[in-house]
Amino acid sequence: RAWVPGKQYSVIPGVLSFMSIRNTERLQELEDWQRQNAVEVDCLFASLKPFVDDYLPFAEDWGPLSMGTLFKFSEFLSPALADAQASGKRLVLYTDSRAQNRTNAATLLASYLVFERGYTARAAWKPFHFTTRSPFMSYQDASFDPVTFSLSPLDIVEGLERAKAFGVFDPARFDRLFYESCQEPATADCTEVVPGRFVAFKGPRKHRFVSAADGLIFLEPRDYFDIFRKIGVTTIVRLNEVSYDARDFTDAGFKHYECYFPDCTTPTEEVLEIFFNICRECEGVIAVHCKAGLGRTGLLIAAWMMRKHMFTSRQAIGYCRVMRPGSVLGLQQEFLDDNQALLWQMGDPDLPSDDNGPADCRPGSASEIRERWCWARKEAYPYAKGVGPLVQRLSRVDSRERLNSSPGKPGPVLRGTGGTPPASSHFGDSFGRRRIPGRRGSSQWGSDRSLNSLNRTGSGASTASEAGSVKEGILSDGMQSSPIGTLSRLGSAASGSASEPPEPAGGGFARVSS
C-alpha cells in the first residue's frame, strides 16, 4: 500500500478516515459550495489544525503532542463521531501536507485508539503503515544539535499503551485542566509524569525572577507548596546546582534530597543508586527537578519506569515526552537505550535491598553539595578494575537472570557511566579526556562515551584504615549514606598514577535534609 496525498485512508472502517492534502483552503471552499447547494455527501470533514498547531517547540523539536492536547482531541472526536454516525456519514479528519503535521496527526489518532477504543499499539498504528516509503517522520529531542537518536510514532504509541496497561497512567483519572494549569510557567511549570509517584518540575530559585524580554520565569519554592500538597508530594529531589535554600522546603514539611550530576550529561552508577534508594525509602509523591526539569529529570524518571515496569528505552522516553514535552536530551537518550537490558535485569527498584547492598540514602543533615563536590575533586583516586555497585547487586536482587563475568576480568558496567580506562599511552599518565566526534554532552572516556564514575580506592599508598577515615569524615556530619561509602573496592588499582586526579563526571555527593 502506497501513500497518496489527498487520498482518504480508513482508520475505523465505515466510521473514521484520515487524509493529508496540499490545499486545505480548496477543501473548505468545496464544503461551502456543497452546503450552499444542498449537495448530499457521505462524509463530514474536520480539520486537525487546532491540535497539530498546539505544540510549542523548545528548539528544533516539533512533537509529540502533549497529553493535554491528546485529551482535548478526545473531547472533540468522541462527540463528532457520534454525530457523524447518527447522520449515517463517515468522519474524515484532515491536515495539511507538511510531514511534521501529518506525523503528529497520525500519532494523535493512534493514541486515541489506544486510550479510548482499547486498541493495542500495533493495531492502532496499522492504518498508518505503508509498504512503500513512510510518509511520517521520526521525532527528535529538544535541541539544535545533529540528531543521533530518534523515536518513531509507534514508539510513542507503545509507550502510552504500556503506561495504561501497567497503571502508570490512568486515562479515567486524568484532569486535563489541572494538568494544563500546572504546565504554565507562571503557575508552576510542573508535570505529574507518573501520577501518584513522580512530579517533574523546573528548578526554583531563591527569589522569583521574571524577564519580560525573553519570557523567562523562575519561581520560588513557596510557589509550589499548595500545588505539591494537592498532588501529594512529600519529597523533593534536586539534581542541579544549589539555586535556593533547601530549608524553604523542609520548613514547609517536605523532605529534601540532593543527587547532583552536571547538566546535559548522564548519571554515574552512584547517582543512579542514590536515586533508586530515595525512591525506595520515600512514601508519597516524589518531585524531581533539575534546571529546566527536562533532561536529567526525565532521564531518572524514565530509568525508574524501565526498572519498575519493563518499558523499553524508546517507550519510556516517548511516554515522558507526551507527559512533559522536551524530556530527555542528547546522550541521555542513548544512555537509556544502551543500558536497557541492565536496567531490566536489576529488577523492581521498590524491593528492599539486602544487607550487603549499598547503604540507603536517608534524610539527615550535611554540608553544602558544592563543598562535597570540591572535596571529591581534590582527592586522587586511581581507577580500580571491577564492577560498579549497581552491577554487584544483580546477583542479589535479580532472580530471573544473572549477568556473568569472566574470571579475572571486569564485570559488566553501565554503558555511558563507567568502564576501566586501560593503563596505556592512549589515555596518558594524566588520564586526559577526549571528545568523541559527533557526540553531544561533556567529555567522554575513549570510545565508551562514558562519564567515568568507576569504583575508587585510596590514592598511592593509602591503606584500608585511611580509606575508612575518609569515609567516616564524609559521614561525620550526620548523613547516613554517601556514594563514596558505597563504592566497590574490588580488584587492584590500575597501573600508573595520575599527576592530578581525574575530574569526576557526575556528582551524587548528596545533601539530604528532613
Could you read off the pLDDT of 425-444 as tens digits, one per residue?
Answer: 222 222 222 223 333 333 33
How far, in Å, CA of 495 to CA of 498, rounded?
10
Domain annotation covers residue 101: yes
pLDDT in tens, 472-486: 222 223 333 333 223
Total tally of structural domains belonging to the chain: 1
Mean pLDDT of 493-505: 35
Domain annotation covers residue 268: no
pLDDT in tens, 59-85: 999 999 999 999 999 999 999 999 999
Domain annotation covers residue 406: no
Measured torsion, CA atoms of residues 234, 207, 202, 364, in degrees rounded to the nearest 10: -40
Residue 213: per-residue pLDDT: 74
Nearest partner of 380 among 461, 300, 314, 449, judged by Cα: 461
How far, in Å, CA of 346 to CA of 473, rounded?
31
Collapse the DSSP code of 194 into the 3-class scheme (helix H, G, I; strand E, B; otherwise coil) and give the result. Answer: strand
- DSSP code, position 445: B
pLDDT(413) > 60: no
How far, in Å, CA of 376 to CA of 369, rounded?
11
Name the residue with cell 572535596: 375
Domain annotation covers residue 322: no
Q: Sign of torsion, CA 63 69 71 74?
A: negative
Spell out the residues 6+ positions from residue 464 whose beta carbon is closer than 8 angstroms to its own: none
Nearest partner of 490 among 463, 455, 460, 461, judged by Cα: 455
As a whole number, the mean pLDDT across the chain is: 76
By the 10 Å C-beta count (0-12 exposed, 13-18 middle, 19+ buried), 171 is classed as middle
Residue 489: per-residue pLDDT: 25
In the chain, the percentage of residues whose pLDDT exceeds 90 is: 60
Mean pLDDT of 217-223: 94
Domain annotation covers residue 94: yes
Collapse the DSSP code of 82 into the 3-class scheme (helix H, G, I; strand E, B; otherwise coil) and give the result. Answer: helix
Band of pLDDT at residue 244, cut at 50, 70 and 90:
very high
How far, in Å, CA of 426 to CA of 423, rounded?
8
Name the residue with cell 554515574: 268
Q: What is the DSSP string of 93-137?
A: EEEES-HHHHHHHHHHHHHHHHHHH---HHHHHGGG--SSS-S-P
Mean pLDDT of 251-269: 96
Question: Phi-psi bin for 174: left (phi > 0), alpha (psi -120 to 50), beta?
Answer: beta
pLDDT(418) > 90: no
pLDDT(124) > 70: yes
By the 10 Å C-beta count (0-12 exposed, 13-18 middle, 19+ buried), 123 is classed as middle
Catalytic residue among 190, 259, 282, 290: 290
Domain annotation covers residue 247: no
How many other CB atoms are found less than 10 A from the CB of residue 197?
A: 18
Q: Which domain holds residue 105?
A: 9-149
Domain annotation covers residue 327: no
How far, in Å, CA of 199 to CA of 288, rounded?
6
- What is this structure's pTM? 0.72
How many other CB atoms are found less than 10 A from the CB of residue 247?
A: 11
In the chain, the percentage of residues whose pLDDT exceeds 70 is: 68
Residue 415: per-residue pLDDT: 53
- DSSP code, position 190: E
Domain annotation covers residue 354: no
| CATH of residue 62 | 3.90.190.10
Cell of 263: 547538566
Mean pLDDT of 92-108: 96
How far, in Å, CA of 116 to CA of 245, rounded?
44
Residue 290 annotated in active site: yes
More confident residue, 495 or 277: 277
Mean pLDDT of 174-196: 96
| Length of the chain as a residue count | 514
